Amino acid sequence: MNNKVTPKILPGFMELLPDEQILFNKIKDTIREVYESFGFLPLDTATIEYSEVLLAKAGGETEKQIYHFNKGDNDLSLRFDLTVPLARYVAQHANDLVFPFKRYQISKVFRGERPQKGRFREFYQCDIDIIGNESLNLVYDAEMPAVIYNVFKKLEIGSFTIKLNNRKILNGFFEAIGLKEQTAEVLRIIDKIEKIGEENVKAELLKLGADSGAVDKIMDFVGTKGTNAEKLERLKNLGVESEKYNEGIEELEKVLSYIRMFGVEEEAFQIELTIARGLDYYTGTVYETVLNDYPSLGSVCSGGRYENLAEYYTKQKLPGVGVSIGLTRLFSQLRENKIIETGSKTLVKALVLPVDESCVEVSIKTAGLIRNKGVVSDVYYGGKGMKQKMKYANRCGIPYVVIIGENEVKEGVVALKNMNTGEQQTVSVKEAAGIIKGDK
């Protein structure tokens, strides 16, 4: 074996060292825990699907990014999101599911983009969706922010704002001012307001073909500031003649009042009229979430309400609402901005150190007893002297070592050392487990 293959992975694929992986999993577990606490059911769809099924709807950019291949006679693709597999799954198993169907899925998806900073080709999405049969109560539009709120509170990564809009407001508004076809362009121009200033935005809107009355209305619309209540009031008085617009406002108002019932703090959610999300897909409430101290990260959790989840697979009307956290990207951004810090390089809380070979048996048994008390425990057999053994414990960042020497074996006790304080005490195994467990 002289010709070695260089061990490496593709750019755009995230692999972590143990301390990072422990941190990543902690975040992933927190998300799962909150999702489950709201009664979302776990789902774990196939990674590889028939291209015909997976790409029933896709096209353009998405299709180019797909990992697409043949195996035998089958034309296959890797999933590129978790929404299409959900649609396929629900259509396939509709008779076996109870609606509203609340599911979460935390899985990797694959997109063969050109790798660039912050973009991943393989990344975790953490999705929740609630799917109704024929109809879906508007309360669920408020449950999304409630879940997001609980997730980001638990993650303890600083203050955040869940921004809400309703596509009916946007659509109704642009229809009313005769710019329905230009909605996407108008939103793109508006989006630059902080960067290029109000006057330049106006100029661009005029260049797009909007008349000056429409431009004024747009500026009024996006200029709507204040509290959520003030914004709603102002929207109602903008003088937009559109049933759809009014319906959107009514929905948004109801959703806000439901959000409060879920116990979400008023500071944590905000009407934001420039949010549109995927233009063809969402039909009602839409969401984005920003970390207040790190606006440059963009939205860390987005989604919305859609009319019909699975129209490519079934005649059954399945309206839904959902949000997604792009966890791999979020994690990478949080680390880069030092918003989260890694801790230990190990899960071990108690490392048992046999002083010599004669103490191995008692050491293994001691580790077993501590483990049975719910404390992650391991034995280290290496290291020539105690100094080397301690060095190993330190290198791993293990908080407690349990030393077993001849005396300890004889007396049926252990020497417990707190690696942070340096304090050492002789205690029973049971006491040791209690002390380690109590120290969180």
Least distance (Å) between residue 401 CB and a second copy: 13
Q: What is the DSSP string of 285-340?
A: EEEEEEETT-GGG--SSEEEEES-TTTTT-SS---EEEEEEEHHHHHHHHHHTTSS
Collapsing DSSP to helix, strand or coil, 417 comes out as strand
Nearer to a second copy, 115 or 295 (CB): 115
Collapsing DSSP to helix, strand or coil, 430 comes out as helix
Least distance (Å) between residue 212 CB and a second copy: 40
CA distances (Å), 430 to each of 26, 339, 347, 369, 409, in order?
28, 38, 20, 8, 15
Listed residue (39, 31, 121, 43) closest to 84, CA to CA: 43
Least distance (Å) between residue 171 CB and a second copy: 20
Nearer to a second copy, 41 or 427 (CB): 41
Nearer to a second copy, 21 or 292 (CB): 21
Torsions phi, psi for 124 (to 5 deg): -80, 135
Least distance (Å) between residue 355 CB and a second copy: 15
Contact (CB, 8 A) for 179 and 205: no
The secondary structure element, H or E, covering residue 160 is: strand 160-166
Nearer to a second copy, 228 or 302 (CB): 228
Cis peptide before 295 (omega within 30 of 0): no
Rounded Cα–Cα distance for residues 286 and 408 (Å): 64
Nearer to a second copy, 12 or 298 (CB): 12
Least distance (Å) between residue 217 CB and a second copy: 34
Give the Cα-Cα-Cα angle 54, 56, 57 (nearest 5 degrees). 105
Least distance (Å) between residue 147 CB and a second copy: 11
Contact (CB, 8 A) for 238 and 155: no
Nearer to a second copy, 96 or 356 (CB): 96
- The first and second tokens of residue 122, run together, are 């393989």
Least distance (Å) between residue 85 CB and a second copy: 9
Contact (CB, 8 A) for 359 and 407: no
Rounded Cα–Cα distance for residues 11 and 121 (Å): 8
Least distance (Å) between residue 418 CB and a second copy: 18
Nearer to a second copy, 234 or 365 (CB): 365
Nearer to a second copy, 1 or 194 (CB): 1
| Phi-psi sector, 126: left (phi>0), alpha (psi -120 to 50), beta | beta
Torsions phi, psi for 244 (to 5 deg): -60, -45
Q: Are strands 122-131 and 41-42 parallel, antiparallel or unpaired?
A: unpaired
Nearer to a second copy, 108 or 236 (CB): 108
Least distance (Å) between residue 9 CB and a second copy: 5
Torsions phi, psi for 16 (to 5 deg): -120, 150
Nearer to a second copy, 103 or 217 (CB): 103
Question: Which residue type occupies 91?
Answer: A
Least distance (Å) between residue 135 CB and a second copy: 9
Nearer to a second copy, 193 or 364 (CB): 364
Least distance (Å) between residue 240 CB and a second copy: 29
